[in-house]
Amino acid sequence: MAGTLAHLPFSSSIDPAFWAALSDLKMTKLKLDSAPQPLCALYGPAAAAAHRSEGDGGGAADAAAVAWMNLAGEALDVGSEVPRRSVRAGGSVTVVNTMEEFKAVDKKEFLSKAGAQMCAHVDSGAAEQDPSLLVHCEALVFSDLKNYKHVYWFAFPALCLPTPPALEGAPAELASRLPTPGQRQLLHLGVQQLQGASGSRGTPPFFIVELSGEGVSVRPLCDVHAVAAGSNEWWLAFVDPSPLPSNPGWPLRNALFLVQRRVKLTSVTVLCYRDVLDAKEAPQESRSILLRVTLPPGDSVPSSGAPAVVGWEANAKGKMGARMVDLAPFMDPQRRAVESADLNLKLMRWRFLPDLDIDRLARTKVLLVGAGTLGCNVARSLMAWGFRDMVFVDNGKVSFSNPTRQWLFDFTDCVDPARPSEGKPKAQAAADAIMRIVPNMTARGEELTIPMPGHPVMEASLAGVQRDTSRLEQLVEDTDVVFLLTDTRESRWLPTVLSAAKNKPCINVALGFDTFVIMRHGLCPPAAAGAAGGGDGDRAGAPNLGCYFCNDVVAPMDSTRNRTLDQQCTATRPGLSAMASAMAVELAVTLLHHPLGALAPPDQPGPPMGQDAEAAGLGKLPHQIRGFVTNFSSIIVTGEAFQHCTACSPPVVQGYKRGGFDFLLRAFNEPDFLESTSGLKQMLAAAEDMADDWEEDGCDEWDDDA
């Protein structure tokens, strides 16, 4: 009995981890690039597939007519080790950017290119040295990354002979030709040895079995010419994923093309090897079968040129067409939220900011001193930029007037269940809110009072002030960037001193009714900072940028005394905080991406963020931005550090380093301490003396003229 040899096509089995890996590859590496990417799929003998199905509870019958080609999460890592019993199928995946592009791909040409490459491996002899080149898995994919949907079509290229191979007679069981367990044991051991010789590349898909009397030897495919020219009986063997009793699996098509084209055979015995290889003894009942296959005569087959290629996978309806998988319903909502939170940033890197360091922003620890209107707005913008580690410092409670302006709070925060007469602590309420917005946030609130100059410390509160000071010192030490966002000027003094002493980048935001100022405090370069630590206070070589207090000619004082209601609240135009906060965060992101960081000179842009001429950088890094809403304008200002500044001047910073809390306590309690320490008092006295001298000299001259 003879008939056309029918092959069972592959069916793709795709692990969700593969789609996750592909999405990450597209988002972080490929971006708009649709060039084919290497792929490594796996399949195994039919016995292994049936065993897996039974172990999964599905029963062998569920997989009875399926030859699986598996794509795991490691499929895109072509260098990964191939598990035992598995056969490696190389190939590529092409991820296009739009659904229209997916539809426009010439599917015939797409498959023909893969087939032509495979045929070239046959003609060059490379496929005999590396039989895995005869098994390919090609994929065309459009990934809707926003909605976790993937449209895909897999192909398993098969090279066609001009006349289909014919099956001579019925398939035979392996035991009919190898009747003794010893012979079958030799076969299995030979396959295992061949697998061991392949190392991490798994089981070779094709090999040769040579019979000599009672002996059985397994040889690599590259020996096919020598074996075919010999006198011993031999079989063309392949790892067969098909479980059907008379139909071999899809890979055989390419092996038959090779032996016909290269060895010029007109018939061959094929061993469809379907057994699991981990038994110490040959299984008593082998699943493998033998086929006798007739091939078209050699003169009817061209010896060169690419043949016709088939192999597109049918969809679930059995028709030639693409499939679609929607992973959203099966994903953990928190994971979706985390991935979606950074989607805008990843898309920004595709074309505009290729060198945007999202990971660095996520690792940057931010200290927000103040959790009010500015603190809430700054935190929201930081989250949008991918910052994921924040600490809020505030001693206030959420009041009923806050939620309309302070967008991290709502009505439920205005009543603390533990103390119904007051709202929840602002710092912790803000931290809780941002962790509800982005699940992978690390945030906490620190409820502490910032000691201030002009606010004397009473003996009864000394321990608490010392505790809060120590805690604030540790918070500044542990952070990477400090934002000063409090209501009063004097509350910014201690964080300013601590930032200068610990050389931490500090960004200050302050509001008027219709004006705002944003500024980054200057830092000492590492060498100067080390010298300053030795006590000489040398700022030579520093950018010499001033801090928030460098324009003052008086020490900070109590600004809360005798204030009216409009002065007790920060009365500003409602949109002002959002505008200033957003620009402050943009300043911080630009600072973190500049090669010199906080030491960058004012108004000097960093290098372009990518090699592409279209790739934009993040722009200039100003010292101060002053905005005016009345005429919708802003100006860039650069201010030098004041040598007698009451917050960042070397005498103050070094006085704090040497004296610690005792130094700070004097600054809190003694009205003229900071002016004396910084030299401001002496400078003012000298200025008055000069003015007096000028007035006296001027008066004498005037009198003389009179």
Average pLDDT in the 79-91 region?
A: 85
Residue 695 resides in a domain: no
Q: 0.85 cut: is pTM over it? A: no
Domain CATH number, residue 455: 3.40.50.720
Nearest partner of 288 among 304, 301, 303, 269, judged by Cα = 269
Percentage of the residues of the chain whose pLDDT score is greater than 70: 86
83-92, 199-208, 281-290, 517-526 — which is least confidently predicted? 281-290
Distances (CA, A) of 356 to 30, 318, 506: 15, 45, 21
Residue 703 above 60 pLDDT? no
Contact partners, residue 346, CB within 8 Å, separation at least 6 = 27, 28, 358
Residue 702 resides in a domain: no
Domain CATH number, residue 39: 3.40.140.70
188 φ, ψ (degrees, to nearest 5): -65, -40
Average pLDDT in the 682-688 region?
A: 82
Residue with tokens 């010298």: 531
Summarize pLDDT for 553-579 with one digit per residue, the tens.
888 877 666 554 444 456 789 999 999
Summarize pLDDT for 174-185 with one digit per residue, the tens.
999 999 888 988
Residue 698 resides in a domain: no
Let me know whether 196 and 147 are in one domain: no
Let me know whether 346 and 489 are in one domain: yes
- 3-state SS string over 168-235? ECCCEEHHHCCCCHHHHHHHHHHHHHHHHHHHHHECCCEEEEEEECCEEEEEEHHHHHHHHHCCCEEE
Count of C-beta atoms within a 10 Å radius of residue 548: 25
Q: Rounded to the nearest 10 degrees, what angle do helices 343-351 and 333-341 cross at?
A: 40
Domain CATH number, residue 228: 3.40.140.100
Q: What angle do CA 62, 64, 66 make, to 5 degrees?
A: 95
Let me know whether 531 and 639 are in one domain: yes
Q: Report whether 143 contacts 130 (CB < 8 A).
A: no
Q: Which two tokens stand for residue 160?
A: 């066609």
- Calculate Rg over the CA atoms of the chain: 38
Cα separation, 123 vs 403, whole angstroms: 74
What does the DSSP 8-state code read for residue 470?
H
Residue 83 resides in a domain: yes
Residue 526 above 80 pLDDT? no
Let me know whether 258 and 133 are in one domain: no
For residue 296, give its domain range: 166-300
Residue 704 above 70 pLDDT? no
What is the reported pLDDT for 538? 44
What is the reported pLDDT for 63? 44
Helix (H) or strand (E) holding 51: helix 46-55
Instruction: Among 253, 284, 300, give the residue marking a domain's end.
Output: 300
State the sign of the Cα–Cα–Cα–Cα dihedral 72, 76, 77, 81. positive
Active-site residue list: 569
Burial class (CB in 10 A: 0-12, 13-18, 19+), 407: middle
Distances (CA, A) of 497 to 187, 312, 501, 526: 80, 69, 6, 17
Distances (CA, A) of 464 to 82, 415, 457, 461, 483: 63, 26, 10, 5, 24
Cα separation, 387 vs 359, whole angstroms: 9
Let me know whether 213 and 115 are in one domain: no
Q: How confident is the model at residue 94 (pLDDT cuts 50, 70, 90)?
A: very high
Let me know whether 404 and 312 are in one domain: no
DSSP labels for 600-650? PPTT-----SSSSTT--------SEEEEETTTTEEEEE--BPPTT-TTTSH
Residue 697 resides in a domain: no
Q: Report whether 94 contacts 106 (CB < 8 A).
A: no
Residue with tokens 């001009």: 162
Q: Which two tokens stand for residue 92?
A: 């590529």
Residue 359 resides in a domain: yes
Long-range CB contact pairs, 536-543, < 8 A, 24+: 537/650, 537/651, 537/653, 537/654, 538/650, 539/641, 539/650, 542/599, 542/641, 543/599, 543/600, 543/601, 543/602
SS3 236: strand
Q: How confident is the model at residue 112 (pLDDT cuts 50, 70, 90)?
A: very high
Residue with tokens 């909605």: 147
Average pLDDT in the 352-369 region?
A: 93
Residue 691 resides in a domain: no
**Mean per-residue pLDDT over the chain, rounded:** 86
What is the reported pLDDT for 539? 42
Q: How confident is the model at residue 350 (pLDDT cuts 50, 70, 90)?
A: confident
Let me know whether 354 and 478 are in one domain: yes
Let me know whether 251 and 312 are in one domain: no
Q: Structural domain tally of the chain?
A: 3
Residue 154 above 80 pLDDT? yes
What does the DSSP 8-state code read for residue 459?
G
Residue 451 above 70 pLDDT? yes
Helix (H) or strand (E) holding 506: strand 506-511
Let me know whether 151 and 171 are in one domain: no
SS3 665: helix
Average pLDDT in the 39-61 region?
A: 60
Let me know whether 640 and 664 are in one domain: yes
CA 445 centroid distance within chain:
27
What is the reported pLDDT for 568? 47
Residue 527 above 80 pLDDT? no
Summarize pLDDT for 611-644 with one digit per residue, the tens.
554 445 688 889 999 999 999 999 999 999 999 9
Cα separation, 523 vs 541, whole angstroms: 11
Contact partners, residue 660, CB within 8 Å, separation at least 6 = none
Looking at the DSSP bridge assignments, the partners of residue 40 are 90
Q: How confident is the model at residue 693 (pLDDT cuts 50, 70, 90)?
A: low
Residue 114 resides in a domain: yes
Cα separation, 672 vs 651, whole angstroms: 15
Contact partners, residue 536, CB within 8 Å, separation at least 6 = none
Cα separation, 333 vs 487, whole angstroms: 38
What does the DSSP 8-state code read for residue 66?
-
Cα separation, 30 vs 24, whole angstroms: 9
Instruction: Among 251, 285, 300, give the residue marking a domain's end.
Output: 300
Q: Which amino acid is at 89?
A: A
Q: Report whether 370 contacts 509 (CB < 8 A).
A: no
Looking at the DSSP bridge assignments, the partners of residue 312 are 155
What is the reported pLDDT for 300? 61
What is the reported pLDDT for 325? 94
Q: Which two tokens stand for residue 294?
A: 């007739």
Let me know whether 217 and 102 are in one domain: no
Let me know whether 16 and 123 are in one domain: yes
Cα separation, 591 vs 667, whole angstroms: 31
What does the DSSP 8-state code read for residue 80?
S
Strand order through the sheet with 506-511: 442-446, 389-393, 365-369, 481-484, 506-511, 515-520, 624-628, 633-637
Q: Which amino acid is at 662?
A: D
